[in-house]
C-alpha cells in the first residue's frame, strides 16, 4: 500500500490556515496534512487596531486552531519549530523531529526591536499592536494614559513594512481621543520612514497621498516623512534629522525579519530569515519546500532614501498560500502548475479611521496597474467590520473556496 505524502505546514495564521484548508479541499484523504504552531489561538491581526483603544476584546478576534483543523481532518500540534533540515526533510521542534514530503513555511515575522535602541514593549519605551499580547498591554497603557494625557507619537521606523497598520492605529487613536474629550491635551505626531505619506512600501497608490494629507490636516495630525529613529529614551524619540520628539504614549512599528527557525537553518532563508521562492512560491533550491505570507523574501519595487520593506497583507498571504497549495496538489495528483509573480498579486485593503475609512483595490501590488481604486467614506468602516466577521467565520470553518 502506497504511503500518503506528508505535508507539514509551519504557522497557524492567515497563510498557514489558507494553505492547510486549500490542500485539504484539493487532496481530501490523499495526503496527511499537519499544521504546527507555537500558538493555539488564531488571532485576526487586522482587528488589533481596535483592541488598543478598547473597541474589541481578545475573545472577539480569536478562535481555537485545534478545533478548526481537526474538524476538517487536519492534524494540529502545538509546538515551536526550532530548525529545518532540508536535506533530511525534517523539522526539529521543541517536541522532537517531524518528517515531511512537502513543507510550507508560513511562520509570519520576527519583530526586530533591536534595530533601534529603546524600541518596543520588552526592553524599550514604546508600545506595539503587532501581536495579541502586545496589543493587550498597549490597551491597558492607553486607559492609564487617558487619565493624564500628553503627546502621542505613532508610526513606523526605518526598515518597517507594515505601514498600513500604523496609519490605522494613528487614525483610530485620534478618534479615541476625540471620543474621550481629551484631543486638545494630546497632540499627535505621525512619523514614518516612507518618502511620502501612503508610499506604503509599494511606491505609492494613486491619489492616496493628497487624500491622507488633507485628512491629517483636517483632524490635526502632524507628520514627518523620511524619518530615521536613532533611539528611544523615556518620553523622547531621538531622530536623525528632526530632533527630539516628546511623547507620553507611543506605538511604533518595527522592521520584520524571518523567524529564528528559518534563520537557524542554513540554506533555507536569506540573511534576514526570509525564504527565497520562485513564482510558484517554491523554494529556489529545495523543491519540496514552499512558503507563503510574511515569510517570503520580496524585494522593494524601487529604492527609497530611507529603507522601507514591502507589505504582505492577510489577503496577499492567502493568495500566496493558495498558489503554493495548488502546486503541491498538482505535484501529487498531476496537472498544470500555477505561477503568480509577487508583483502581480492583487490587493484589497480597507484602511480604517475609527468612523471613516478608505477602500483600496488593485490588480497588482506593484505598478504598472490596470486597476487602482480608492473609495473613501464612513461606509468603509462598516465594511471592515463586516469583513472581520465574515473572514473570521470563513477561516474558522475552512471555507477557503469562498471569496
Strands across the sheet containing 90-93: 81-85, 90-93, 96-99
- Residue 130 known to be catalytic: no
What is the distance between the alpha carbons of residues 225 and 228, in angstroms, rounded to a whole number? 9
Give 283's DSSP letter: B
- Residue 162 known to be catalytic: yes
What is the distance between the alpha carbons of residues 318 and 169, in angstroms, rounded to a whole number? 23
What Cα–Cα distance (Å) separates residue 255 from each residue in 27, 41, 342? 37, 24, 20
Tell me the helices (H) and strands (E) count for the chain, helix number first. 9, 22
Backbone angles phi, psi at 230, to 5 degrees: -85, -35
Q: 37: which strand partners? A: 78
Q: What is the 3 state secondary structure string of 73-141?
A: CCEEEECCEEEEECCCCEEEECCEEEECCEEEECCCCEECHHHCCCCCCCCCCCECCCCHHHHHHHHHH
Backbone angles phi, psi at 353, to 5 degrees: -125, 25
Cα 156 to chain centroid distance, Å, stands at: 13
What is the distance between the alpha carbons of residues 231 and 307, in angstroms, rounded to a whole number? 17
What is the distance between the alpha carbons of residues 34 and 27, in angstroms, rounded to a whole number? 13
269, three cell numbers? 532563508
- The radius of gyration of the chain from alpha carbons, rounded to an integer in Å, stands at 21
- CB neighbour list of residue 144: distance below 8 Å, 6 or more residues apart: none
CA angle 179, 184, 187 (to 5 degrees): 105
* List 48, 146, 328, 349, catalytic entry: 349
* List 31, 45, 48, 162, catalytic entry: 162
Which residues carry out catalysis? 162, 349
Amino acid at each position: 500500500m502506497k504511503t500518503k505524502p506528508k505535508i507539514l505546514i509551519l504557522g497557524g495564521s492567515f497563510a498557514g490556515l489558507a494553505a492547510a484548508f486549500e490542500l485539504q479541499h484539493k487532496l481530501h484523504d490523499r495526503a496527511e496534512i499537519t499544521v504546527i504552531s507555537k500558538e493555539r489561538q488564531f488571532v485576526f491581526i487586522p482587528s488589533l487596531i481596535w483592541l488598543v483603544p478598547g473597541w474589541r476584546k481578545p475573545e472577539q478576534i480569536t478562535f481555537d486552531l485545534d478545533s478548526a483543523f481537526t474538524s476538517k481532518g487536519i492534524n494540529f500540534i502545538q509546538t515551536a519549530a526550532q530548525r529545518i533540515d532540508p536535506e533530511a526533510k525534517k523539522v526539529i521542534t521543541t517536541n522532537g523531529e517531524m518528517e515531511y514530503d512537502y513543507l510550507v513555511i508560513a511562520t509570519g515575522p520576527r519583530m526586530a526591536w533591536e534595530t533601534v535602541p529603546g524600541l518596543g514593549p520588552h526592553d524599550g519605551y514604546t508600545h506595539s499592536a503587532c501581536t495579541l499580547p502586545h496589543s493587550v498591554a498597549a490597551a491597558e497603557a492607553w486607559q492609564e494614559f487617558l487619565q493624564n494625557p500628553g503627546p502621542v507619537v505613532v508610526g513606523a521606523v526605518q526598515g518597517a513594512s507594515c505601514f498600513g497598520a500604523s496609519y490605522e492605529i494613528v487614525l483610530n487613536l485620534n478618534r479615541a481621543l476625540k471620543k474621550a474629550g481629551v484631543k486638545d491635551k494630546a497632540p499627535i505626531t505621525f512619523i514614518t520612514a516612507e518618502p511620502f505619506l501612503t508610499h506604503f512600501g509599494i511606491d505609492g497608490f494613486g491619489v492616496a497621498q493628497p487624500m491622507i494629507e488633507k485628512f491629517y490636516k483636517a483632524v490635526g495630525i502632524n507628520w514627518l516623512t523620511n524619518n530615521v529613529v536613532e533611539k528611544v529614551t523615556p518620553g523622547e524619540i531621538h531622530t536623525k534629522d528632526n530632533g527630539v520628539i516628546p511623547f507620553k504614549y507611543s506605538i511604533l512599528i518595527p522592521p520584520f525579519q524571518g523567524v529564528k527557525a528559518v534563520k537557524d537553518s542554513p540554506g533555507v532563508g536569506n540573511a534576514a530569515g526570509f525564504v527565497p521562492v520562485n513564482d510558484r512560491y517554491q523554494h529556489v533550491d529545495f523543491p519540496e519546500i514552499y512558503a507563503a505570507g510574511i515569510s517570503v523574501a520580496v524585494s522593494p519595487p524601487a529604492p527609497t532614501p530611507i529603507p522601507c520593506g514591502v507589505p504582505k497583507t492577510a489577503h496577499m498571504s492567502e493568495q500566496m498560500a493558495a498558489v503554493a497549495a495548488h502546486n503541491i496538489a498538482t505535484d501529487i495528483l498531476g496537472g498544470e502548475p500555477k505561477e503568480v509573480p509577487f508583483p502581480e498579486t492583487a490587493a484589497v485593503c480597507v484602511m480604517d479611521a475609527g468612523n471613516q475609512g478608505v477602500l483600496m483595490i488593485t490588480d497588482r501590488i506593484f505598478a504598472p496597474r490596470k486597476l487602482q481604486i480608492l473609495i473613501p467614506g464612513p461606509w468603509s468602516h462598516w465594511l471592515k467590520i463586516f469583513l472581520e466577521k465574515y473572514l473570521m467565520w470563513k477561516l474558522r470553518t475552512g471555507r477557503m473556496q469562498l471569496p
